[in-house]
Amino acid sequence: MDKKIILYIIIGLVILGLLVMTFFPGIILAWTDSSKTGTGKCNPAPGYTEEAWKEHMGHHPNIYKDCL
């Protein structure tokens, strides 16, 4: 019985993770960019146009305050 509960918890966490990644696909970029320093984080990430990247940075002013 305990193994079923653990399995359900793991499956629930995987589904929750997939839902978060579906609705917030830029969260990984924001997370990895928060540790970058200098102008490297100001350059557009692969798959972003310059305009889209500026919009993305505008959503995270605490991370990209040096770029805005």
Residues 6+ positions from 31 with CB-CB distance below 8 Å: none
Number of domains in the chain: 1
HEC assignment per residue over 27-38: HHHHHHHCCCCH
Decide if 21 is inside a domain.
yes
Q: pLDDT class for 18, splitting at 50, 70, 90?
A: very high
Decide if 66 is inside a domain.
no
Please check whether residue 27 is in contact with residue 35, taking contact to mean a CB–CB distance below 8 angstroms. Answer: no
pLDDT, tens digit, 9 for 90 and up, residues 24-63: 877 776 666 666 655 677 888 788 899 998 898 888 888 7
Residue type, 10: I
Decide if 17 is inside a domain.
yes
Decide if 8 is inside a domain.
yes
- What's the sign of the alpha-carbon dihedral 56, 40, 63, 28? positive
Locate 60 and state its tokens: 């995270």
For residue 7, pLDDT over 90 is answered with yes
What's the domain range around 21?
A: 2-58
